[in-house]
Amino acid sequence: MKIIVPVKRTPDTAAEKVIGDDRTVDRDAGESVLCPVNEFSIEEAVRLKESQDAEVTVLLVGPESAQSTVRKALSYGLDGGLQVTDDAIAGSDALGTARVIAKALESREWDLVIFGNQSTDARTCLVPAAVAELLGVPSLTYARHLEVEGDTVTVHREHEEGWDVVEAQLPAIVSVVEAINEPRYPSFKGIMAAKSKPLDVVSLADLGVSADEVGAGNAAATMYEFEPRPPKEAGTVVEDDGSGAAAAQLADWMVDKKFA
């Protein structure tokens, strides 16, 4: 079985985000990391690799500097990487990104694609289903449990009231939620091995994607303005002097804020 795991380089969630003059996130203004949600999709792929002798490839769409993110993903035990790098991709929306990923998948043989259900910088949750639609294959989203037996993939699909059991025939695309597993840490051996694992770097032209299908200028959504998050307001301090007045003040505050 051949598995592909798309991953993304995202700004560190703990760092302050900076919006550039082009009204997109300035990814060079702070540290960028392997999207934390991708650790769950990678772990699920590694488990299938161990149980079914699968071959796993990591796929990343991003600038040349994101190669370190591909190597980080490979350190978990994946077999090789595919990176799509092209200046025209910058600023792409979810659909533009999906177009590039779909074309990259068309260039490879695969049975199963495992996404994280969202990225920590955009959180649209749209790309996995959009890729499946473009390729005309089944899309199994919000998976909290994943099994593959023969040509059938089965997931427990998470929703507000519990989960549904959904099946589809391979090839298929699955997106997983954080509840699906507990990601492992890369071993020192894995980190060293990742440096020499095969990595193919391709451009939009290599995939047959036109520059007028992607990029900020061709995005369906447009940001017109932005402003920094307002500072937190000082809270209300209630001091108890033993008279009971503090309790009454607290009760009045809760009623005023509609907590009671």
Complete domains list, the chain, with CATH: 2-218 (3.40.50.620)
Q: Closest by alpha carbon to 177, among 47, 43, 41?
A: 41
Number of CB atoms found within 10 A of residue 226's CB: 7
pTM: 0.85
Confidence (pLDDT) at 81: 97
Q: Is the pLDDT of residue 87 over 90?
A: yes
Confidence (pLDDT) at 260: 67
User: DSSP states of the chain as a string?
Assistant: -EEEEEE-EEE-TTSPP-B-TTSSB-TTSS-EEE-TTHHHHHHHHHHHHHHH--EEEEEEES-GGGHHHHHHHHTTT--EEEEE--GGGTT--HHHHHHHHHHHHHTS--SEEEEES--TTT----HHHHHHHHHT--EEEEEEEEEEETTEEEEEEEETTEEEEEEEESSEEEEE-GGG--PPPPPHHHHHHHTTS-EEEE-HHHHT--GGGSSGGG-S-------PPPPPPP-------SSSHHHHHHHHHHHHTT--
Segment 211-222, tens digit of pLDDT: 999 998 888 877
Q: Which tops the pLDDT comparison, 53 or 152?
A: 152
Measured distance CA(176)–CA(75) in Å, rounded: 20
CA distances 195 to 64, 78, 81, 107, Å, are: 15, 12, 11, 24
Confidence (pLDDT) at 29: 73
- Worst-scoring range by mean pLDDT, 10-24, 52-66, 176-190? 10-24
Measured distance CA(117)–CA(159) in Å, rounded: 13
Q: Is the pLDDT of residue 257 over 90?
A: no
Q: Is the pLDDT of residue 76 over 90?
A: yes
* Mean per-residue pLDDT of the chain: 91
Q: Is the pLDDT of residue 206 over 70?
A: yes
Q: Is the pLDDT of residue 249 over 70?
A: yes
Confidence (pLDDT) at 208: 95
Using only C-alpha atoms, the chain has a radius of gyration, in whole angstroms, of 22
Segment 119-135, tens digit of pLDDT: 988 888 999 999 999 99
Measured distance CA(83)–CA(187) in Å, rounded: 23
Summarize the confidence of residues 75-104 as an average pLDDT: 95
Confidence (pLDDT) at 31: 83
Segment 5-15, tens digit of pLDDT: 999 999 887 77
Q: Closest by alpha carbon to 93, among 4, 217, 224?
A: 217
Q: Is the pLDDT of residue 17 over 80?
A: no
Summarize the confidence of residues 222-240 as an average pLDDT: 81
Give the whole-number percent of the chain exceeding pLDDT 90.
68
Contacts of 71 (CB under 8 A, 6+ apart): 81, 194, 195, 197, 199
Q: Closest by alpha carbon to 115, among 175, 36, 29, 168?
A: 175
- Facing residues of 80 across strands? 57
